[in-house]
Amino acid sequence: MSRIPFPLATHAVAQSRKSETSGGTGGEGTAGRLAPHPGDGPGKDTLRVAIVGCPNVGKSVLFGRLTGRYVSVSNYPGTTVEVARGLGRWGGRTFRVADTPGLYSLVCVTEEERVARRLLVRDRPDWLLHVVDAKNLDRMLPLTFQLREAGFRVALVVNMLDEATAAGLTVDVAGLGRALGLPAFGTVLTRGRGLREIREFLAAAPPIAEAPGSPGGPVEPVYDPETEAAVGALAGLLRTDWGLPVRAVALLLLQGDPEVVEEAERREGPRWPAIAAVLARAEAARPPVRHRVPLALHRTAREVGTASVRQVAPPRVTAGKVLGDLLLEPALGLPVLALVLYFGLYRFVGGFGAGTLVEVLDRVLFLSRVNPWLDRVVDGLFTSPVWRELLAHEYGLVTLGLRYAVAVVLPIVGTFFVAFAVLEDSGYLPRLALLADRLLRPLGLSGRALIPLALGLGCGTMATLVTRTLETRRERILATFVLALGVPCSAQLGVVMGVLASRSAALAVWAVTVTAALVVGGTLAARLLPGRPAPFFLEVPPLRWPSLGNIWHKTAARMAWYFREVLPVFLAASVAIWLGRLTGAFPLVLGLLGAAARWLGLPREAGRVFLYGFLRRDYGAAGLYDLAPGLEAPALVVAAVTLTLFVPCLAQTVLMFRERGPVVGLAVLGTVFPVAIAAGFLLSRALALVGAWSW
């Protein structure tokens, strides 16, 4: 049997519970992935609901509408690898709602899909809300059949009826529900249409303990006799509790799902040779059973889809459709890309976020009011300089830690998240990825990698996490490397822009040097790392008006996540600096880095900025802010370039080691550090050579 060309990711599900069995290669999550989660039985007044479906159908909108707020905030729709969970209360019941990553089919290809499947199998929710796009029922109903085969209780949410109407279609939602034997709801979730019916239904729906599984409907997928014989043979051989009906497990095995095959070999032990023999026979059949199952699912889905959807009018030509098609034209798409980058990133994030907002919060609020006031209060309370400096003054918890987090980083990252959410929700991001595919090829990356790379312009730590959505290990490593080397995060970007903005030549030199280092470094890495480039494919969603509510939801969720993650590190960094100064360890490290800084033609204090830059990339960037007034333009550019290319921040480093393992982590760090110093050195020499050039 041919293997899929990428290894199974072995890291644990982000928010997974403890697995029931241990062993395997990747610690938690490798073993017992498909085992049901014991206990956790809900009462009559609590119902557990999971929202499933493929990407871009409105799952997170439904989640936001049902829960009202994000409780577990770690959700990046479209780039989701983690699971958002929230609570809702209505009709005298509490609903525990989970929003799962995009799932196209129960036979998983991507890490996102595996995360979603594991969640469903472990949690056994009382009800699944399968959200489908009303325009593309043929494509989406195969998953509905699979979910039912897997013993879940499924209600169908036929969403985006407005887009279906615009496409000239009428959808008989009630007829569809009857044909499938499932509750079905027609909705326009962005406008809240159909939501009341879903809530009323869930308020009265029985928990799974009372009525396990969904009853079969009048229309069921029919498999050929050879497939059914193989299913029957496998069903007789599967004896352990998979948490799924044996028929569903048999069908997954026959479709060659690598995770399930591996699991079967592990848990069915003595029966594995017999199972493997059945699978080999099924594979040898012409056509292989592996292909017959999805085709049967699609055939049935098409029958049901054709019966319940009718074209009653020609598709309406909407502005979104015209614009969406136009943006696929490279001749127009590339200039638009430039405009989006200029207004979205440079003007909005760089100008408004890093300029106006930082100015107001940092200079007006902290530097001229909060800090002087706190210095006086703390000086009045403590006589020892040790305590005075822990809380206030130059490196205090509040005067430095809280100030950087709230006044410098928050506005920059916040504005970036708003801009990113607009790009995501409008459907522009996939169009961008498509145009970027050719550009990223030399770096060994596909257009898909644009999403983590663009996110890296917001926060490198988050972006490193999102590289999980890439499909091959090779691509994940290359993207991690590029992110660590020199994709500046929004805090760095904002500060660099703020510091260099008044000297456009300096900004240009910075941009060119960093880009050159990225291209050279990335190309070399792609050449050196063995393996083939990842194939690129992507569904292009229609262009849509982003809903303000959803943008707010996403931005708030990401800000909360970021703040929860960032504030402790900022405060810890303040304490580390305080301890370092107290014990005398810092002066030593600072002396070394200061010497390196001198070598680059920078003042010694730049060494301090580099050190802080490691503790927190954006922290160092913020330090540059303080350093800037005393520096000449060439020195400032060298400092900015070195800092941008320098090792990623502590949080990103930790995540890099966690996600990619120590070997890749060390290799990346070992490459990035000398490259940053070398680039800074070369640049400082080059600038000295053209020293006569007036800035």
Partner 1 sequence: MVLVRPGSHLTLADLARGQEAEILAVEAADPAYARKLLVLGLVPGVTVRVLHRWPVHVVQAGRTTLALDGQLARRVSVRLLMR
Nearer to partner 1 by Cβ, of 461 and 472: the residue is: 472
CA atoms of 155 and 131, how far apart (whole Å) = 9
For residues 87 and 307, what is the distance between their CA atoms, to the nearest angstrom? 37
Q: Which residues pair with 155 in a beta bridge?
A: 129
Residue 415 or 446: the one with the smaller Cβ distance to partner 1 is 446
Nearer to partner 1, 167 or 597 (CB): 167
Residues numbered 260 to 319 that lie near partner 1 (CB under 8 A) are: 287-288, 290-291, 294-295, 298
Determine the interface stretch with partner 1 among 3-11, 218-226, 262-270, 454-462 (rule: CB under 8 A): 3-11
Q: State the CB neighbour count (10 A cutoff) for residue 275.
A: 19
Nearest distance in Å: CB 300, partner 1: 12
Nearer to partner 1, 447 or 613 (CB): 447
Told to check if 511 binds partner 1 by CB under 8 A, we report no
> How, if at all, do strands 309-311 and 169-171 pair?
antiparallel
Q: Which helix (H) or strand (E) holds 406?
A: none
Q: Which residue stretch of 173-181, 231-239, 535-543, 582-590 sits at the interface with partner 1 (rule: CB under 8 A)?
A: 535-543
Placement of tokens 């928990």 in the chain? 207
Locate all alpha helices (DSSP H) within 457-489, ordered by sequence: 460-466, 473-486
- Within residues 85-104, the interface with partner 1 by CB under 8 A covers 104
3-state secondary structure 500-512: HCCCHHHHHHHHH
By CB under 8 A, tell whether 2 contacts partner 1. Answer: yes
* Candidate residues 58, 64, 142, 183; the one interacting with partner 1 per rule CB under 8 A: 142
Question: Measured from the CB atom, is 111 or 123 closer to partner 1?
Answer: 111
User: Which one of 538, 567, 667, 669 is in contact with partner 1 (CB under 8 A)?
Assistant: 538
User: Taking Cα atoms as reference points, which of 541, 545, 547, 543 lies closest to residue 136?
Assistant: 541
Supply 87's token pair: 């609570």
Residues in the chain: 695
Give burial (CB, 10 Å; 0-12/13-18/19+) of 522: buried
Spatial separation of the C-alpha atoms in residues 596 and 581, rounded to whole Å: 20
Least gap, CB of 204 to partner 1 (angstroms): 34
Residues 6+ apart with CB under 8 A from 342: none
Name the residue type at position 694.
S
Residue type, 440: L
Strand order in the sheet with 84-90: 84-90, 93-99, 46-52, 127-133, 154-159, 184-186
Cβ contacts of 239 within 8 Å, gap of 6 or more: 268, 271
Tell me how far, at minimum, the Cβ of 611 lies from partner 1, in Å: 42
Judged by CB under 8 A, the stretch of 60-68, 458-466, 539-547, 576-584 that binds partner 1 is 539-547
Give the interface segment with partner 1, choosing from 33-41, 428-436, 593-601, 658-666 (CB under 8 A): 428-436
Question: Interface with partner 1 includes 4 (CB under 8 A)?
Answer: yes
- What is the nearest approach in angstroms of partner 1 to the Cβ of residue 135? 5
The reply on whether position 43 binds partner 1 by CB under 8 A is no
> What is the footprint of partner 1 within residues 665-684 (CB under 8 A)?
none
Q: Which is nearer to partner 1, 293 or 400 (CB)?
A: 293
Binders of partner 1 among residues 243 to 262 (CB under 8 A) are 255-256
Q: Find the shortest distance in angstroms from Cβ 433 to partner 1.
A: 8
Q: Are 70 and 84 in contact (CB under 8 A)?
A: yes
Q: Which of 335, 535, 568, 630 binds partner 1 (CB under 8 A)?
A: 535
Return the SS3 of 599: helix
Query: Pseudo-torsion of CA 122, 123, 128, 134, nearest 10°?
Result: -50
C-alpha span between 469 and 487 (Å, rounded)? 18
Spatial separation of the C-alpha atoms in residues 253 and 106, rounded to whole Å:
11
Task: Using DSSP bridges, classify how beta strands 93-99 and 46-52 pair: parallel, antiparallel or unpaired.
Answer: parallel
The least CB distance from residue 475 to partner 1, in Å, is 13
Enumerate the β-bridge partners of residue 302: none
Q: Would the CA dihedral through 601, 602, 603, 606 be positive or negative? A: negative
Can you tell me which of 28, 138, 303, 626 binds partner 1, judged by CB under 8 A? 138
Contact predicate 402/526, CB 8 Å: no
Question: CB-wise, 383 or 537, nearer to partner 1?
Answer: 537
105 binds partner 1 (CB under 8 A): yes
Using CB under 8 A, pick the residue from 539, 579, 670, 678 that binds partner 1: 539
Q: How many residues bind partner 1 (CB under 8 A)?
A: 43
Contact between 360 and 408 under an 8 Å Cβ cutoff? The reply is no
Q: 558 and 414 in contact (C-beta within 8 Å)?
A: no
Stretch that binds partner 1, among 191-199, 323-331, 387-395, 490-498 (CB under 8 A): 323-331
**With respect to partner 1, which residue has the nearer C-beta, 256 or 488?**
256
Give how far Cα 683 sits from Cα of 105, 656, 670, 679, Å. 51, 28, 21, 6
Q: Among 20, 224, 241, 325, which residue sits at the site for partner 1 (rule: CB under 8 A)? A: 325
**Smallest gap, in angstroms, from Cβ of residue 78 to partner 1?**
15
Q: What is the dihedral of CA 437, 442, 446, 448, to 10 degrees?
A: -70
544 binds partner 1 (CB under 8 A): no
Q: Looking at beta carbons only, is 334 or 548 nearer to partner 1?
A: 334
For residue 430, state whether it binds partner 1 (rule: CB under 8 A): yes
**Quick one: 102 or 594, whose CB is closer to partner 1?**
102
Q: Which of residues 163-182 bind partner 1 (CB under 8 A)?
A: 167
Which of 113, 114, 127 has the alpha carbon at shortest distance from 50?
A: 127
Q: How far is the CB of 430 from partner 1 (least distance, A)?
A: 8
What is the token pair recorded at 174?
């009630």
**Nearer residue to partner 1 within complex by CB, 447 or 460:** 447
Tokens at 109, concatenated? 């290809």
Tell me if 473 contacts partner 1 by CB under 8 A: no
Q: Choose which of 215, 284, 317, 537 interacts with partner 1 (CB under 8 A).
A: 537
Between 443 and 459, name the residue whose CB sits nearer to partner 1.
Answer: 443
> Using only C-alpha atoms, what is the Rg of the chain?
28
Choose among 123, 44, 46: nearest CA to 83. Answer: 123
Pattern 433-462, partner 1, x by CB under 8 A: -xx-xx-------xx---------------
What would the two tokens of residue 61 be?
Answer: 């909108």
Closest to partner 1 by CB, 225 or 629: 225
Interface residue with partner 1, options 329, 379, 394, 632 (CB under 8 A): 329
**Residue among 72 and 105 whose Cβ is closer to partner 1:** 105
Which span (7-15, 62-70, 215-223, 321-329) binds partner 1, by CB under 8 A?
A: 321-329
240 binds partner 1 (CB under 8 A): no
Cα angle vertex 547, ends 544, 553, to 5°?
130
Shortest Å distance, C-beta 223 to partner 1: 14
Structure tokens, 199: 């809530």
Give the footprint of partner 1 on this chain (CB under 8 A): 2, 4-6, 104-105, 107, 109, 135-136, 138-139, 142, 167, 255-256, 287-288, 290-291, 294-295, 298, 325, 328-330, 430, 434-435, 437-438, 446-447, 533, 535-542
